[in-house]
């Protein structure tokens, strides 16, 4: 049997061991005092599920390749493919990213993938605030409700949330998905302003506002891990 690589992260908050499979690999989150021999057995018990999940992720990435962060590479923006024009200007105080038609121009002060990725993420975060706010305003007006603050975040496992006081949070990575996926997530969270759980009433309202919601949910489950820089 081949070795299954994974990393272990001890957590004071963890009540039991759990496994997270993402584009970064396999991570096992365990309580602080759990013995390593128990971690190994836990991973082996879940091996079939881990390998099946990794295989599905590879298949999904073949359908939706991740961004290529290099000059002449390609990034996605709400279903569009933007050609990346990247260059380095040593000594530059701030990175600059701007879209011009179907091209995304980026100027950074240091060579390498990480400075470029950081500059692009900042740009996507700014654009996400504008794209989400526009959709939220339209959707809440149509539903006759209102929301509080809007935050743009980069959660690893969550696309959006709506707190009990109407504060909204959206993941900037949604801009790497087709526009209809972002539209659906907005509709989903706006419905939570009226119904805070996932009851039958909640899904009935979602279906009226986003008739293809089951297709969009399935798309996110399959391609979510590929939405990254």
Q: Where are the domains of the chain?
A: 7-63, 74-226
Check whether 1 has a pLDDT greater than 60: no
Assign 131 to helix, strand or coil.
helix
Lowest mean pLDDT among 62-71, 77-86, 140-149: 62-71
Q: Which of 164, 94, 80, 172 is nearest to 126 (CA)?
A: 172
CATH class, domain 74-226, is: alpha beta
Cα–Cα separations (whole angstroms), residue 107 to 32, 44, 113, 224: 43, 46, 12, 28
Q: What is the pLDDT of residue 63?
A: 74
Contact 165/148 with Cβ under 8 angstroms? Answer: yes
Query: Which whole number is the average pLDDT over 32-56?
Result: 86
Q: How confident is the model at residue 100 (pLDDT cuts 50, 70, 90)?
A: very high
CA dihedral for 157, 43, 15, 198, sign (positive or negative)? positive
Q: What is the pLDDT of residue 133?
A: 97
Q: Which of 74, 55, 54, 78 is nearest to 65 (CA)?
A: 74
Check whether 154 has a pLDDT greater than 60: yes
Torsions phi, psi for 226 (to 5 deg): -85, -10
With 0-12 / 13-18 / 19 or more C-beta atoms within 10 angstroms meaning exposed / middle / buried, residue 78 is middle
Q: How confident is the model at residue 2 (pLDDT cuts 50, 70, 90)?
A: low
Q: Which two tokens stand for residue 212?
A: 């293809």
Q: How confident is the model at residue 97 (pLDDT cuts 50, 70, 90)?
A: very high
β-sheet bridge partners, residue 87: 107
- Other CB atoms within a 10 A radius of the CB of residue 85 amount to 15
């Amino acid at each position: 049997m081949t070795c299954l690589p994974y990393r272990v992260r001890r957590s004071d908050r963890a009540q039991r061991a759990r496994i997270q499979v993402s584009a970064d690999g396999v991570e096992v989150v365990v309580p602080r005092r759990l013995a390593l021999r128990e971690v190994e057995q836990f991973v082996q018990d879940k091996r079939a599920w881990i390998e099946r999940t990794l295989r599905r992720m590879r298949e999904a990435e073949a359908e939706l390749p991740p961004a290529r962060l290099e000059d002449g590479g390609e990034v996605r923006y709400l279903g569009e493919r933007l050609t990346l024009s990247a260059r380095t200007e040593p000594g530059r105080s701030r990175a600059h990213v701007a879209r011009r038609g179907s091209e995304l121009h980026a100027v950074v002060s240091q060579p390498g993938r990480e400075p470029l990725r950081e500059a692009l993420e900042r740009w996507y975060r700014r654009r996400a605030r504008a794209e989400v706010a526009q959709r939220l305003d339209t959707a809440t007006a149509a539903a006759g409700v209102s929301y509080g603050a809007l935050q743009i975040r980069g959660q690893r496992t969550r696309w959006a949330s709506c707190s009990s006081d109407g504060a909204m949070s959206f993941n900037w990575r949604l801009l790497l998905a087709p526009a209809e996926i972002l539209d659906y997530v907005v509709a989903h969270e706006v419905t939570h302003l009226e119904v805070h759980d996932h009851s039958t009433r909640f899904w009935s309202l979602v279906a009226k506002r986003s008739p293809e919601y089951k297709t969009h949910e399935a798309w996110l489950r399959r391609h979510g891990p590929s939405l990254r820089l």
